[in-house]
Amino acid sequence: MNAVYIIGIFLAFFISTLLFTKKDKSLPDKILAVWMCIIAIHLLNFYLYTLNYWIKFPHLVGLTSPFPFFHGPMLYLYVLYSLKKEKQLRKVDFLHFLPIVLSYLYMFKFIFFYTAEQKRLVDAGELDVFSTFINLSLIGMAISIIVYPILSFKLLSKYKKMITSNFSYDERINLSWIKNIILSLCSLFLVTLIVLTLQFIVGFEFSFKADNIFYGLAVFLIVIFGFYGVRQQNIFISTPGTDPITESKSGYEKSGLKTNEANNYHKQLLDIMVAEKPYLDSKLTLGKLASMLTISSNHLSQIINQCEKVNFYDFVNRYRIEEFKSQAGKNPHFNILALALESGFNSKSSFNNIFKKQTGQTPTQYLSTH
């Protein structure tokens, strides 16, 4: 197990270095780099504990005890700023780390004024002065590891809604890598919560060091973060002017668009879709289509939602699917990818997913029956 910890510590520091030295690094890169440093230090201190260094050097005891409070906020901020364009944290963001500050303030006397012998006795459980603090910390950590993943998933949900309302494509702006990071951390959180509950509440005695479970999983998490974090760019680098967190397209009550105006624009929209085929532009956005109608993006979104009963993404791709069917009839010698590209799609995987969603068949199944 020691080899696993050494690899994890090295990887965490290495990934942090890569992120800090990354060219054109974004705010999420910096957040993840700091997070990797925190994980590395936490893992290093635990590794020293497994080697009995806390007995030789009691002043190491408790130095990283509040570190679990870091992970929920770091996850949330990483997700938040992966979906936003800001280049620096807001002052309010630092409030997420208040439990850590309060924990260290409470431990100030222990860290700086307890003798080595007193710290050794505390670590051995022979001096019980922190039982209430430990229990409160466990409750706080449990809340943290439940609340922050939920908040992160809510951000993703809001982002996904913005994507389908403003873009006709999702390549390079999809959510899978962030979702994988959240799910990986949730798995670690869940295992940690179960183990701590069994240990400190149920009183279950493991036949091995239970800490090895979640610290071992932490090494796996480092690999996941390294794989996704180092290679990712900020999602909105190529989509300026769009902020999924602060913009909302869901409320039309005060839009000022009258019913007869909406119907007229809707007719114009359908005429343009047939006559000019804007959907053949694989990078078509709500703003581009709105400019063709000389109306605001918000009004166009309202028209599509209320008159077509779908979002912008599904509306445009519905025309692309029909174009594909038409092209397939005219050019049966073309392969599926060529037909998809000719119809406005820009990747085979995206086309396959959309086609199956809208028709209930794969493209191959459809072509075999037509």
The closest alpha carbon to 198, from 184, 213, 220, belongs to: 213
Which tens digits make up the pLDDT trace of 117-164?
999 898 887 888 888 888 888 889 889 988 999 999 999 888 888 888
Measure the CA–CA gap between 154 and 309, rounded to whole angstroms.
Answer: 23
**Which residues on adjacent β-strands are paired with residue 167?**
285
User: CA 164, 165, 169, 173 torsion: positive or negative?
Assistant: negative
**pLDDT of 241:** 42
**pLDDT of 25:** 85
Q: Tokens 């068949």 correspond to what residue?
A: 361
Q: Is 167 helix (H, G, I), strand (E, B) or coil?
A: strand
Neighbours of 168 (CB within 10 A): 28
Instruction: Record the tokens describing residue 370, joined without a space.
Output: 């037509």
Question: Torsion angle of alpha carbons 162, 166, 170, 171, nearest 10°?
Answer: -120
**pLDDT of 236:** 45
State the CATH architecture for 317-370.
Orthogonal Bundle (1.10)
Measure the CA–CA gap between 264 and 2, rounded to whole angstroms.
Answer: 71
Q: Indicate where the chain has its CATH 1.20.1070 domain(s).
A: 2-238
Measure the CA–CA gap between 149 and 26, rounded to whole angstroms.
Answer: 22
Intervals of the chain under pLDDT 70: 171-175, 200, 231-255
**pLDDT of 246:** 44
Q: Indicate where the chain has its CATH 1.10.10 domain(s).
A: 317-370
**pLDDT of 237:** 38
Which tens digits make up the pLDDT trace of 52-98?
898 889 999 999 999 989 999 999 999 898 888 788 999 999 999 99
Q: Measuring CA to CA, how many Å separate 117 from each of 123, 125, 252, 329, 342?
A: 10, 12, 67, 84, 76
The closest alpha carbon to 313, from 262, 241, 249, belongs to: 249
DSSP E strands, 309-358? none
For helices 27-50 and 2-20, angle between their N-to-C axes, nearest 10 degrees = 160
Q: Is 25 helix (H, G, I), strand (E, B) or coil?
A: coil
**pLDDT of 258:** 85
Residues 6 or more apart whose Cβ sits within 8 Å of residue 204: 198
CATH 1.10.530, applies to 2-238: no
**pLDDT of 74:** 94
DSSP E strands, 281-336? none
Measure the CA–CA gap between 39 and 45, rounded to whole angstroms.
Answer: 10
Whether the Cβ atoms of residue 35 and residue 70 lie closer than 8 Å to each other: yes
**pLDDT of 345:** 92
For residue 237, the Cα-to-chain-centroid distance in whole angstroms is 16
**pLDDT of 233:** 56
**pLDDT of 219:** 84
**pLDDT of 26:** 87
